[in-house]
């Protein structure tokens, strides 16, 4: 590494350039930034002290990214209107520079890329496409910002305080590019991707001692009502809603400047502002609460959004609507595939739930952007199971948020002693406790088991004809009975059933009834049964019809093994004549009726479950843009 | 909730299958009726072939 020392153009102190690639350095003695020329330094101007922000880096921090070691040499602090953040200029082993941005708890690594010829700001409107190095990006944010201050060495010229025009672009889930236009219209492109801290393999011995340092709270007074307001995120807070008077304030040094006066109608956060809580394994601090609402069908539909900050500085949302809770985190706009029906994210397809123009009704607590009452944005919500993708568009920005349903119990446990709003209806991403998939699965298993029982009984049962005998004819006149006894027969199952079949093959226009008794010839035990057959036929309207059955049957159950006879008392009538009949006894016959009854019994459970589940879903979609009955 | 419900259903189903298997194994029919076993001696004297009393008398058991 070839170090070079030049004299500061302001104070004459030595300014060290450790890298030949560094163009700008800040004098450690007087705080003036200077630009290196071939021979000396040209002063750029005085820069202010950098703000102490929670960071994983400092000048000199070393790490490895994609196999190349790097050393952090410079720091820039920028503000695009949503709070100051750090960008670290790091030089790698090959003398190339990369920029590591720390924004809202996330890390972005970018390299300066060549800007397409003629890239003009007016061409990059919201949603416009730009292809850079084979990646197709979409513009998700355009705006104006400024470089607040800088420190150390930088590989490019920067002008502290000068306004810049920028466009943020995204592609897929992690690719990000930024285009900045300087005052002279020159475009600079930075392209890279979101990374995890582990991807940078930072040497812990070179990190700041406290990583990230504890953010101290700050106590200020409301200029409107004098109430004390504690700021838990003073470095990033841009707007503060006073809980006492409802005034909207802006931190300005050690005072809170009034942006909007108090508003009638008391705003109230259900969760205590400043409280710390653990939700889905992440520790959060509740910073602020805003009520937003959409107007539909002649009325306002409000919900509350709680701004949460993680210890790493990321901002998430806890959303409460009618007592239902969602924990939301930002995702890349371009990670949401908006082609086709609904949207897709992480290979899941989300169904459209609601759309509307959401406006801010009231705010209390801290917010890291310049929120204002009546701020409006177009919103679209999509649901898949317990997840919700929310897309939000305003004139300059596009935001995508992924929400995860939080059970009320989890919120109550995270905020003990807090009285939560009562739950009404069914939440958009509330899990359906009646989903019948598992129950249907169990039914399938049970049905297979029932079939198995049936197969086993079919194979294992004797199902044998033990008697077949003909009798008759039956008495000719009504009211008379003819009693007959069969030959003895053996029943060997102990115990088992017996199926008695009555067959009257010659029956034409009448009936035969049989009052039977199965008589055990050893014990004398008697079991009675009855069977009948009837058959009628005729012609009606030129069509022949028949009804009834020439076969009747009866079942006798739990019979001990032994020798039996049947006592048969028959009666019948067929066009005034008696008819002969045949009786067949089968021993130990499997009963199909039992299988049917069991399957129907089992079927009732999942069917009822499914009906309840459908009613639950119906209640869920009632509050959407697609209530049941109106869905296409 | 869903798992609990499925577990209850599974338990109910196993019970129903058990009853089904038992009904098949024991030959339960449900529609056979047993006649009274006690026969008075006077009835026996009036017994005629084909009557219930005759059935009992014929087989030499119950009530004699």
CA distance A320 to A303: 6
**Residues of B with Cβ-Cβ distance to A527 under 8 angstroms:** 32-35
Is the CB of B14 less than 8 angstroms away from the CB of A446?
yes
- Tokens representing residue A569 in the block: 């008392």
Is the CB of B34 less than 8 angstroms away from the CB of A525?
yes
pTM to 2 decimal places: 0.71
| Under 8 Å between Cβ of A130 and A115 | no
CA distance A402 to A377: 17
Interface test with B, best of A464, A481, A526 (most B CBs within 10 A): A526
| Under 8 Å between Cβ of A331 and A390 | no
CA distance A82 to A236: 8
Please report the pLDDT score of residue A583 as a whole number.
97
Annotate A576-600 with DSSP letters as a single string: TB---EEEEEEES---HHHHHHHHH
Is the CB of B13 less than 8 angstroms away from the CB of A449?
yes
Cα dihedral sign, A438-A441-A443-A449: negative
How many Cβ pairs closer than 8 A exist between chain A and B?
A: 129
Q: What are the pLDDT digits (tens) for A158-197?
A: 888 878 888 889 998 889 999 988 777 788 899 999 998 8
Residue A38, pLDDT > 90, answer no
**Angstroms from B53 CA to nearest CA on chain A:** 11
Please report the pLDDT score of residue A85 as a whole number.
82
Give the Å distances, CA to CA, from A62 to A25, A65, A195, A572: 19, 10, 16, 106
Is the CB of B27 less than 8 angstroms away from the CB of A559?
yes
**A305 - beta bridge partners?**
A290, A319
Cα end-to-end distance, chain A, whole Å: 68
Q: What are the pLDDT digits (tens) for A253-311?
A: 788 888 888 765 667 899 999 999 999 999 999 999 999 999 988 889 999 999 999 98
Smallest Cβ–Cβ distance between A527 and the set B12, B32, B50 belongs to B32
**Residues of A with Cβ-Cβ distance to B36 under 8 angstroms:** none
| B64 lies within 8 A of chain A by CB | no
Residue B44, pLDDT > 60, answer no
CA A264 to chain centre: 37
**Residues of A with Cβ-Cβ distance to B61 under 8 angstroms:** 523-524
Please report the pLDDT score of residue A166 as a whole number.
86
Interface test with B, best of A516, A557, A603 (most B CBs within 10 A): A557
Smallest Cβ–Cβ distance between A521 and the set B26, B28, B59 belongs to B59
Token look-up 């299958």 returns B17
Is the CB of B28 less than 8 angstroms away from the CB of A497?
yes
**Angstroms from B16 CA to nearest CA on chain A:** 7
Is the CB of B27 less than 8 angstroms away from the CB of A497?
yes
Q: What are the pLDDT digits (tens) for A290-306?
A: 999 999 888 899 999 99
Cβ neighbour number for residue A195 with a 10 Å cutoff: 16
**Residues of A with Cβ-Cβ distance to B59 under 8 angstroms:** 519-521, 524
Comparing A39-43, A65-69, A188-192, A278-282, the range with the smallest average pLDDT is A39-43
CA distance B43 to A180: 117
Is the CB of B28 less than 8 angstroms away from the CB of A558?
yes
**Residues of B with Cβ-Cβ distance to A606 under 8 angstroms:** 9
Residues 6+ away with beta carbon under 8 Å from A129: A136, A137, A138, A139
| B4 lies within 8 A of chain A by CB | no
- DSSP element (H, E) containing A114: none
- Give the confidence band of A427 by pLDDT, cuts at 50, 70, 90: very high
Token look-up 């089968």 returns A586
């Amino acid at each position: 590494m070839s170090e070079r020392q030049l004299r500061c153009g302001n104070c004459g102190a030595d300014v060290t350039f450790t890298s030949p690639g560094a163009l700008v350095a800040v004098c450690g003695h007087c705080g003036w930034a200077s630009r290196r020329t071939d021979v000396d330094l040209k002063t750029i101007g005085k820069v202010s002290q950098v703000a102490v922000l929670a960071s994983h880096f400092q000048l000199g921090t070393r790490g490895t990214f994609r196999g190349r070691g790097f050393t952090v040499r410079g720091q820039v602090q920028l503000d695009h209107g949503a709070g100051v953040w750090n960008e670290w200029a790091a030089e790698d082993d090959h003398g190339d520079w990369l920029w590591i941005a720390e924004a809202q708890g996330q890390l972005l690594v970018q390299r300066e890329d060549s800007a397409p010829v003629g890239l003009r700001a007016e061409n990059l409107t919201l949603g416009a496409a730009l292809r850079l190095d084979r990646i197709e990006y979409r513009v998700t944010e355009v705006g104006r910002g400024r470089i607040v201050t800088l420190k150390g060495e930088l590989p490019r010229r920067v002008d502290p305080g000068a306004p810049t025009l920028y466009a943020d672009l995204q592609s897929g889930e992690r690719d990000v590019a930024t285009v900045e236009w300087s005052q002279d219209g020159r475009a600079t492109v930075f392209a890279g991707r979101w990374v995890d801290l582990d991807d940078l393999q930072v040497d812990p011995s070179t990190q700041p001692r406290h990583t990230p340092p504890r953010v101290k709270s700050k106590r200020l007074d409301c200029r409107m009502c004098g109430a004390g307001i504690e700021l838990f995120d003073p470095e990033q807070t841009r707007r503060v809603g006073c809980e006492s008077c409802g005034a909207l304030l802006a931190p300005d040094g050690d005072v809170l400047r009034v942006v909007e006066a108090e508003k009638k109608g008391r705003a109230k956060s259900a969760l205590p502002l400043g409280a710390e809580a653990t939700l889905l394994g992440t520790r959060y601090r509740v910073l602020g609460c805003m009520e937003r609402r959409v107007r539909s069908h002649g009325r306002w539909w409000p919900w509350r959004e709680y701004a949460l900050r993680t210890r790493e500085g990321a901002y998430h949302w806890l959303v409460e609507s009618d007592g239902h809770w969602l924990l939301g985190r930002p995702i890349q706009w371009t990670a949401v595939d908006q082609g086709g029906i609904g949207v897709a994210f992480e290979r899941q397809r989300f169904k459209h739930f609601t759309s509307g123009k959401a406006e801010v009704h009231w705010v209390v607590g801290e917010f890291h952007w310049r929120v204002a009452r009546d701020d409006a944005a177009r919103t679209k919500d999509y649901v898949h199971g317990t997840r919700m993708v929310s897309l939000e568009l305003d004139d300059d920005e596009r935001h995508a948020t992924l929400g995860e349903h939080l059970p009320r119990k989890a919120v109550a446990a995270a905020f003990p002693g807090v009285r939560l709003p009562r739950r009404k209806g069914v939440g958009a991403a509330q899990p359906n406790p009646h989903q019948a998939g598992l129950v249907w699965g169990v039914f399938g298993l049970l049905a297979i088991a029932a079939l198995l029982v049936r197969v086993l009984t079919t194979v294992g049962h004797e199902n044998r004809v033990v008697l077949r005998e003909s009798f008759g004819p039956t008495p000719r006149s009504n009211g008379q009975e003819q009693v007959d006894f069969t030959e003895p027969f053996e029943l060997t199952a102990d115990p088992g059933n017996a199926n008695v079949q009555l067959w009257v093959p010659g029956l034409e226009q009448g009936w035969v009834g049989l009052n039977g008794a199965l008589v055990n010839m050893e014990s004398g035990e008697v079991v009675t049964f009855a069977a009948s057959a009837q058959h009628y036929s005729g012609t009606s309207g030129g069509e022949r019809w028949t009804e009834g059955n020439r076969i009747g049957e009866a079942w006798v159950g739990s019979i001990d093994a032994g020798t039996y006879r049947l006592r048969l008392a028959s009666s019948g009538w067929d066009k005034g004549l008696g008819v002969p009949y045949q009786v067949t006894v089968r021993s130990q016959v499997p009963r199909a009726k039992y299988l049917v009854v069991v399957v129907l019994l089992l079927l009732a459970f999942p069917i009822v479950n499914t009906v309840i589940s459908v009613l639950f879903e119906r209640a869920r979609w009632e509050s959407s843009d697609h209530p049941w009955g109106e869905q296409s | 909730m869903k798992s609990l419900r499925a577990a209850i259903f599974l338990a109910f189903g196993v019970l129903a299958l058990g009853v089904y298997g038992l009904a098949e194994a024991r030959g339960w029919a449900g529609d056979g009726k047993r006649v009274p076993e006690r026969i008075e001696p006077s009835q026996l004297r009036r017994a005629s072939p084909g009557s219930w009393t005759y059935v009992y008398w014929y087989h030499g058991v119950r009530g004699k």
